[in-house]
Structure 1
Amino acid sequence: MNEVLRNTNFHTTETILLFSALVSLTLAKLMNEQKFQAFIMLFINYKYLKIYSKEGNQSTSVFNFFLFIPQLVCLSLIVWITVEFLDFPLTINPYLILPFLFLFILFKFYLEKIIATIFDILPFVESFHFHKVTYRNLSALVLLPLISLFIYSDLRGNIVFYIIILTFLSLNTISTVLTLRNHQKLIGKYLFYFILYLCALEIAPYLILIKFYFIDKASN
């Protein structure tokens, strides 16, 4: 019988990131199991958002930070495997993707708060941000198994990659639609400011990021 030799890649960096995501979810559950269960149940009901969106400073709480870590890990790994899979002409250090995205999101978050304070729409923006981030944190629970399958299995082909990308885009679209639907009354009240917020803080930063990090570097 011929021995089938398999080329094994240990994926140390990916393993550390995925493990940190699991540890973060575990810490969130240990910190407040009832709240964590309500978060998981967001797949079928809105109890979590109805209860906890009324509490102040939810976006900066330790519990939500632990839930945010898996989202950040997923986003970092998706960026990396996309660059690797599509063979972009870029030289990206995988260790820098996560801190870069974290600093970008952190800068965007505090810029949102500053502009919301200037326009006197801080409660609306905080609620909108909490709903949006919560849905994206929940999306990470769906993406983590798919990313793990792509990294550790032999199914590193077009189908799995495009399933991950399609799932990522679909979940982000759904989270945006649900967030807009949950705030449609407030959006009507603050329509002018919301349009400014949407253009300046939800669209422009990503266009600048894409141009700086992909288009400009690819052309060099």
Structure 2
Amino acid sequence: MEILERNFVSTDWITLVFLASLVMIALMKLYKPQLLLGYTIAFFSQGFIESRSDKNPSIFSIFHVLIFLFSLLIFSLSIHLLLVNNFTYFKFSFLYTFSFVSAFILIKYTLVKLIVLTLNIEDDTRYFLFSKTGYLYAISLWLFPVLILYQYWYSNSKILIIYMLLLLGFRMFLIAKNNKKLIFNHFFYFILYFCTLELAPLLIIYKTTTI
């Protein structure tokens, strides 16, 4: 009898990622339940983002480290699952995707910070930058339960992509709406910023994954 080789791909690591994310949510709820709720409903509460911007909290606080790591895990897992399920030639591990997303976000944050400090516009752009980050945290919280459903119940990549695009589109709308004065007063610099730090990296990622 000929022995047939059986290919088996374990998805236990996905369960561990979900478990780690759930633990982070539990810790955030225990540590700062009002902050967690605020970021969860940030799309519908402009006052929350404004209050966080006025307080200008440290990015190294326990809560912000937790929600930052949570967001990294969720966005990395979303990108990884979509790449694995839609591009048969994508053979990289989740650790590679997580490292790439982490490096991308940290480099982008460093560039933005350098630009803001160099041009001495920290006060003028504080709310704008807080709204960008706050709405990303909100997206990760909204994406978490949908990813669980996607992985264990209904794995439809098109629905997940549409859901993510709707969230990102709504985020862009709110950022533009709530920062319209800043954007219109410095429209040229906003377009330059958007093309350099928002649009160009996405095009590079797209080209990289389609080569």
Alignment TM-score > 0.5, same fold: yes
Distance 1:193 1:60 in 2: 29
The residue type equivalent to 1:79 in the other structure is I
Structure 2 CA distance for aligned equivalents of residues 111 and 43 of structure 1: 26
List aligned pairs for 1:49-128, cutoff 5 A.
Answer: 49-57=49-57, 59=59, 61-128=61-128
Change (3 A) 1:66 1:119: same
Task: Determine if the alignment matches structure 1 residue 183 to structure 2 residue 179.
Answer: yes
3-state SS in 1 of match to 2:55: coil
Determine the C-alpha separation between the residues in 2 that align with 1:65 and 1:188.
33
Does residue 202 of structure 1 match 2:198?
yes
Q: 1:173 aligns with which of 169, 175, 178?
A: 169
* Mapped contact 1:119–1:193 kept (Cα < 8 A): no
Task: Name the counterpart of 1:3.
Answer: none
Aligned to 1:214: 209
Residues 44-80 of structure 1, C-alpha deviations (whole Å, 9 max, x = no match):
4323112111122555543233223332222212222
Displacement of 1:170: 0.5
Amino acid across the alignment from 1:126: R
Q: TM-score, normalised by structure 1?
A: 0.82
Query: After alignment, is 163-172 or 29-38 more displaced?
Result: 29-38
Q: Structure 1: which amino acid aligns with 2:135?
A: Y
C-alpha displacement of 1:88: 3.5
**In structure 2, C-alpha distance between the alignment counterparts of 1:105 and 1:170, rounded to whole Å:** 21
Q: TM-score, normalised by structure 2?
A: 0.85
Partners of 2:182 and 2:116 lie apart in 1 by 14
Look up the equivalent residue of 1:195 and give its one-letter code: I
Please list the CA deviations of residues 104-163 of structure 1 after superposition, one character each: whole Å capped at 9, or x if unmatched.
10010010111122223223443222211211211222221121112123x33xxx3221
In structure 1, what residue type is equivalent to 2:80? W
Moved over 3 A (4+): 57-62
Q: Of residues 141, 157, 162 in structure 2, which corresponds to 1:161?
A: 157
State how 1:35-54 maps to structure 2 within 5 Å: 35-54=35-54
CA shift, 1:33, in A, is 2.2
Structure-2 residue corresponding to 1:133: 133
Higher mean alpha-carbon deviation, 122-131 vs 164-173, is at: 122-131
How many pairs does the alignment contain? 204
Identical aligned residues as a percent: 27
1:30 paired residue number: 30
Aligned equivalents of 1:60 and 1:166: distance in 2? 33
What is the distance in 1 between the residues matched to 2:20 and 2:140?
13
Whether the 8 Å contact between 2:17 and 2:73 is mirrored in structure 1 is: yes
- Which sits farther off after the overlay, 107-116 or 61-70? 61-70
Q: Tell me: CA distance 1:87–1:187, structure 2 relative to 1, closer, same or farther (3 Å).
A: closer
Which runs of 5 or more residues in structure 2 are unaligned?
1-7
Structure 1 unmatched ranges of 5 or more: 1-7
SS in 2 for 1:90: coil
**Cα distance, 1:89 vs. partner?**
1.9
